[in-house]
Amino acid sequence: MESDDKTAKLTFETALARLESIVESMESGDVPLAELLARFEEGNKLLKLCEARLKDAEIKIEQLKKQKDGVAFAPFDAERGA
């Protein structure tokens, strides 16, 4: 789907701003039902994207903290370990 591709390429900040805009428009109560459902669907995709980006950032931070503390783990090389 083309809109899914566009959504996946958004930065966290852009996706969050769009999500906030959707929520505000839905809360206004002036949105017809069909459009409300479409916005809910888009908002759900944006929410999942934001959650994934935050999880990736959390993992990256944990990796950086481990490296800083000298506990970085390198992938095991089976050929070298034999």
Q: What is the DSSP string of 18-77?
A: HHHHHHHHHHTS-S-HHHHHHHHHHHHHHHHHHHHHHHHHHHHHHHHHHHHTT---PPP-
Q: Please tell me which residue, 80 or 27, carries the higher pLDDT value.
A: 27
Q: In whole angstroms, how large is the CA radius of gyration of the chain?
A: 20
| Predicted pLDDT of residue 81 | 47
Q: What are the C-alpha distances in Å from 75 to residues 21, 59, 79, 81? A: 43, 16, 12, 11
| Predicted pLDDT of residue 29 | 87
Q: Please tell me which residue, 76 or 38, carries the higher pLDDT value.
A: 38
| Predicted pLDDT of residue 3 | 61
| Predicted pLDDT of residue 74 | 60
Q: What does pTM read for this prediction?
A: 0.70
Given a contact cutoff of 8 angstroms between Cβ atoms, the answer to whether 79 and 40 are in contact is no
Domains in the chain with CATH codes:
2-70 (1.10.287)
Q: What is the pLDDT of residues 17-44, one digit of tens each?
A: 999 999 999 998 888 999 999 999 999 9
